[in-house]
A = this chain, B = another copy of it.
């Protein structure tokens, strides 16, 4: 009898400890987490992410927190893999799980850009060449109007000399965020790119059409000089697209449900 009781109170002790740990976490926003899982799988299905890269969403009620998967392939992420992080880039309740080495891309951009609610970091293929040559990425059609204000390139060598190319600490994250400035996306030389948005659907849309624009611009350059959107056309087109960002999002969600 005693043993059984002891066992019970041990269980309670464990539960209490668990609650204490959990107490630090902000109440989860079920819809945001569901959308973030969808975003992971959409970006994999659309070939923007492969076994690497990640996507995050800012907490809906606590702007000093954001959601990001534990360290794993985005195409396999489920709700249970989503962890909460603070703006230092550290997990609120890590439970010893692996985290992405580059979580500081997210924390430092959220810190500097209060308008940003979602961030995608990818190595999507057509974008890579524009990060290692001197051709500026520019909006070739209305779908990529969001590129009209310019797409900076983050050169990690300027900040840190020779590295393994990863944004492994808050200082590198801050340098990247400084480079991104108020833009929608930034390229990372010899590495990949970052797209940000005021919502998960918008950030996903931008990550996908950043890749599409790179592919089309590269093809068009072979034909001759390109008549790009003017800054005004780009701005107006971007505003128009933002109103219909849920149209492809519904399709992309449908595709991953198959």
Q: Is A171 an interface residue (CB 8 A)?
A: no
Residues in B neighbouring A75, C-beta threshold 8 A: 251, 254
A interface residues, tally (CB under 8 Å) = 66
Residues in B neighbouring A141, C-beta threshold 8 A: 123, 128, 131-132, 165, 190-192
Residues in B neighbouring A158, C-beta threshold 8 A: none
Residues in B neighbouring A23, C-beta threshold 8 A: none
- Residues A219 and B220 in contact, CB atoms below 8 Å apart: no
Name A125-163 residues within 8 Å CB distance of B: 125-126, 128-135, 139-143, 145, 157, 162-163
- Residues A229 and B165 in contact, CB atoms below 8 Å apart: yes
- Residues A222 and B221 in contact, CB atoms below 8 Å apart: yes
- Residues A224 and B52 in contact, CB atoms below 8 Å apart: no
Query: A45 to chain B: closest CB distance in Å?
Result: 12
Q: Is A71 an interface residue (CB 8 A)?
A: yes
Q: Which residues of A contact B (CB under 8 A)?
A: 50-52, 71-73, 75-76, 101, 123, 125-126, 128-135, 139-143, 145, 157, 162-166, 189-192, 212, 215-216, 218-230, 232-233, 236-237, 239-240, 244, 247-252, 254
14 contacts between A and B (CB under 8 A): A50-B248, A51-B247, A52-B143, A76-B251, A134-B224, A134-B225, A141-B191, A142-B165, A162-B236, A165-B229, A165-B233, A165-B236, A190-B227, A222-B222
